[in-house]
Structure 1
Amino acid sequence: MNSFYASVEMAYQPDLKGKPVAIAGDPEKRKGIVVTSNYEARAYGVKTTMPLWQAYEKCPQLIALKPNFPRYREASKQIFSVLESVTPYVQPISIDEGYMDVTGYDGELTALQLAEWIQEKLTSELDLPCSIGIGPNKFLAKMASDMKKPLGITVLRKRELQDKLWPMPIEEMYGIGHKTAEKLKQLDMATIGDLAHKNVLTIKNLLGVNGERLHMRANGIDEREVDPEAIHDFKSIGNSQTLPYDTTELTDIHPLIKQLSSRVAERMKVKQVVAENIQIMIRYHDHKTITRSRALRDYVESEADIERLALDLFHAHWTEEPLRLLGVTVQHLTHKEEIGKQLDLFTYEQEAEKEPLYKAIEQIEDKFGKDTFVKLNHQEETPVSTSFQKDFLSERKKK
């Protein structure tokens, strides 16, 4: 989708069309960062992650709006409903992007006509613009989707790699970030074509297995299937938040870590998982960002444990320079139902004390069923404020 959040707002408020619009953290206080902006705002230099005060400097007439996540969720559900009316093989990647496999499509439309139909339907019915890439695999379709915005439709065939893909700068290749691009440029790979023609062992020595994967993609090879069930796979749960101002005050930092830990714990509860690793992300006033993680001896899931471990990690690695952003993430997740009790000298005494309770639970479950306590727990769940893009995918799992 093209500038999705801003486009949804313009669909709800047509008088915003033609005006520079941005979605940002706290427009009333002129604080926070730009989450997204429409193309009118981008023409003035307003960019994603730009501080709002800077966006106003570049575009004084900018209209900044707070995010309306329920509105975006609803719009996204309608979008994916249109896609799933064409084929069941739809893999959401985020709230506003996904893959479709139309290999088995048995309608009368060609692939190009099908893309035109989807684009027109989303525009006419939802008033939401999108760009569509058509290719023989995921990578080429993704690259094609970025080649023409807004409202673009691009076909990228393998026989067109030399003309369309290979001349592109290396940093524009999907899967290559700024740091990776710099490493590749040091070995004279300035374009995607340079990467495609480089000896694969050279790239693998530089980037490991990922280097080999990128080399294959640059040559148009991508064997990944479109998997509607991929949304069931998640390896981490995290939340981050930009501070309203750069700070070194622990009275600001500690409550934020507690808040982030609470959100992570709530999401773990919903997903019924425990974690064996915790990570802290620290972004300083100069945008330098570090992540530090710690493998854990035991599973964790409670807010108190996550907060304690996050605080320990933070104080072990913070340089006491002013902070701009903090993040807390749990990793190496396991579903509770997959965990067998592993009693050791450190937990045996605690477990033994709970033995009468376990026996009582077993008696109740024998009478009323194994899911008795799960059902009760679900009834008490409340809506969770979370990392929005990832939780959109989580919601789709429940369908």
Structure 2
Amino acid sequence: MDLDTFFVSCAQLQNSKLLGIPLIVGGGDRGVVASCSYEARAFGVRSAMPIKMALRLCPQARIVRGDMEYFSRMSNTVTEIIEERAPVVEKASIDEFYLDVSGMDKVFGCYKWTNELAQTVTKETGLPISFALSVNKTVAKIGTGEGKPRGNLNIPELDVRPFLNPLSVQKIPMVGEVTFRDLSRMGLRTIQTVAETSPEVMQQLLGKNGLEIWRKANGIDNNPVEPYKERKSISTEDTFSEDTIDIAWLKARLSGMVEKLAFQLRDEGWLTSTVSVKVRYANFDTEPKQRKITYTSCDHTLTRHILDLFDILYQRRMRVRMVGVKFSGLVRGTYQIDMFEDTQEMMSLYQAMDKIKRRFGQDAIARGAWNKLKNK
């Protein structure tokens, strides 16, 4: 089940004047599109597109900034409705859910039950939702995308291959633009052509990913629906070998801790709404300080708040033996959700740094202050 244009739908609930017009949820002239209405999509506007480019395609579009706190509350409301009724639920993101309704046909009918659940979600929240019922998570996800808006597809096992075959290979989850270009150059542009290619060839072309793409193209996915469990917080702290009063060194250390935790947020698909700093002095007195913030996973935003809290907290001018950083109030969300305040240049920088860290390890690249600290 997938909430249709979730950010846009939430904004329209807050302001009915936004209904039926080309609408972009994003922020700033140098920002990017977080979500857009179907009226805007008709002009070629897409998520993650720079705002300037979107306005060139659709000059009449209305731009509104997103309210992440409101979006999170609405997502939690939908989650509660689904969890009250479904036997097994996995919340994949802020607006996407997997449900395992195996066995429901014996008592009610899987399609009828799911359709009524979708109607209940819309009735109680005002949010449109699409779903696809099928034999596994991959086919259901592809089907949900194909059925939007307000779609409700039923794809039984015998219909899986006929449904998948004519679709673009880019519809397969995990096939991004780079992989799509590589496959296109080899003439593998539809799911059928990939499915009919031998798994050995796909593995030679793309390694393990090639074999996984071949399985998905053939409608094979044995991953279970995993019950939804929400992480409460992530944190780290460092006790020094020698107590220190070097403020510049302490701030550089805090910046490095924030950078590692922020990468973990993005890598695991979280946004934080509460940040806190903890300081332990040489006499073992420990003092914490926390602050509510707009949902984010951006290093520069989190670092600013953490250092500000440290300045407020550290007033005793005693030597420090330990500092800690904690992010709590977490909600599921991809890094794109943080696009309301960020520039395209900043987004590209984060994506490049994260890619390097995933390939070579977290210590492969860091900001200047943290690098200077490590080499001190």
AA aligned to 2:194 is L
Deviation at 1:153, TM superposition (A): 0.7
Cα distance in 2 between the residues matched to 1:310 and 1:177: 32
Structure 2 residue aligned with 1:227: 226
What is the match of residue 121 of structure 1? 120
Separation of aligned partners in 2, 1:310 and 1:23:
36
Q: Trace 1:144-293 onto structure 2 (pairs within 5 A).
A: 144-229=143-228, 236-238=264-266, 258-259=300-301, 261=303, 269-270=326-327, 290=352, 291-293=355-357
Are 1:237 and 1:268, in contact at CA under 8 Å, matched by a contact in 2? no
- Structure 2 segments unaligned to the other structure (5+ residues): 235-262, 270-297, 310-323, 329-342
Query: Which residue matches 1:111?
Result: 110
Which residue of structure 1 aligns with residue 99 of structure 2?
100
Query: In the comparison of the two structures, how many residue pairs are matched?
Result: 278
Match for residue 74 of structure 1? 73
**Structure-2 change in CA distance of 1:264 and 1:133 (3 Å):** farther
The answer on whether the counterparts of 1:86 and 1:105 sit within 8 Å (CA) in structure 2 is no
User: Secondary structure of 1:23's partner?
Assistant: strand
Q: Which letter does structure 2 place at the counterpart of 1:2?
A: D
For 2:356, give the aligned amino acid. Answer: R
Per-residue CA deviation, residues 123-161 of structure 1 (Å, 9 max, x unaligned), is: 222111111011111111111111111100112223113
What does residue 2 of structure 1 align with?
Answer: 4
- Cα deviations by residue, 1:152-195 (Å, 9 ceiling, x for unpaired): 01122231133211111112222211111222233332211111
> Tell me, what secondary structure is at the counterpart of 2:90?
strand
- Paired residues of 2:6 and 2:95 also in contact (CA < 8 A): yes
Matching of residue 308 in structure 1 with residue 359 in structure 2: no
- Higher normalized contact order (CA 8 Å, seq sep 6+, divided by chain length): 2
Shift in Å at residue 307 of structure 1?
A: 6.3
The residue type equivalent to 2:264 in the other structure is: S
Aligned partners of 2:371, 2:156: CA distance in 1, in Å?
47
CA distance in structure 2 between the aligned counterparts of 1:90 and 1:79, rounded to whole angstroms: 12
For residues 213-232 of structure 1, give each alpha carbon's deviation from its aligned partner in whole angstroms, at most 9, with x where no partner exists: 22111111111110015655
Q: Tell me the distance in 2 between the aligned counterparts of 1:9 and 1:83.
A: 22
> Who is 1:43 aligned against?
42
TM-score between both structures, scaled by the size of structure 1: 0.61
SS in 1 for 2:326: helix
Query: RMSD in angstroms over aligned alpha carbons?
Result: 3.6
Q: Structure 1 residue 107: deviation in Å?
A: 8.4
| Per-residue deviation, 1:82 | 1.5
1:20 is matched by which residue type in structure 2? P
What is the CA-CA distance between 1:52 and the residue it aligns to? 2.0
Q: 1:46 to 1:189 in 2, by over 3 A?
A: closer
CA distances 1:202-255 after superposition (whole Å, capped 9, x unpaired): 111122222212211111111111001565599933499xxxxxxxxxxxxxxx
Q: Name the aligned partner's letter for residue 57 of structure 1.
A: R
Q: Is the 8 A contact 1:257 1:310 kept in 2?
A: no
In structure 2, the CA distance between the partners of 1:3 and 1:296, relative to structure 1 (3 Å rule), is: closer
Query: Contact conserved, 1:10 with 1:16, CA < 8 A, in 2?
Result: yes
Aligned amino acid, residue 121 of structure 2: L
Q: Which residue type is aligned with residue 22 of structure 2?
A: P
Q: Which runs of 5+ in 1 are unaligned?
A: 241-255, 272-281, 298-304, 314-399
Partner of residue 245, structure 2: none
Counterpart CA distance in 2 for 1:108 and 1:17 is 39
Change over 3 Å in CA distance of 1:107–1:37 after alignment to 2: farther
C-alpha separation between the residues in 2 aligned to 1:42 and 1:311?
A: 46
Correspondence for 2:254? none
Aligned partners of 2:87 and 2:101 also within 8 Å? no
Instruction: From the superposition, tell whether residues 31 and 107 of structure 1 become closer, same or farther in structure 2 (CA, over 3 Å).
Output: farther
Aligned partners of 1:260 and 1:311: how far apart in 2?
20
Within 5 A, what are the aligned runs for 1:383-398? Answer: none
User: In the aligned structure 1, how far is the partner of 2:214 from the partner of 2:143?
Assistant: 18
Determine the structure 1 residue equivalent to 2:253: none
CA apart distance, 1:63: 1.6
* Percent of residue pairs bearing the same amino acid type: 25
- What secondary structure is seen at the aligned counterpart in 1 of 2:32? strand
AA matched with 2:19: K
- Indicate conservation of the 8 Å contact 2:169/2:191, yes or no: yes
CA distance in 2 between partners of 1:311 and 1:40 (Å):
49
Residue type at the aligned position of 1:308: A
Deviation at 1:261, TM superposition (A): 4.8
Question: 1:69-125 CA distances to partner (integer Å, 9 max, x unpaired)?
Answer: 111011101111111122241101110001011114488531221222122122222
Name the SS for the 1:90 alignment partner: strand
Secondary structure of residue in 2 paired with 1:36: strand
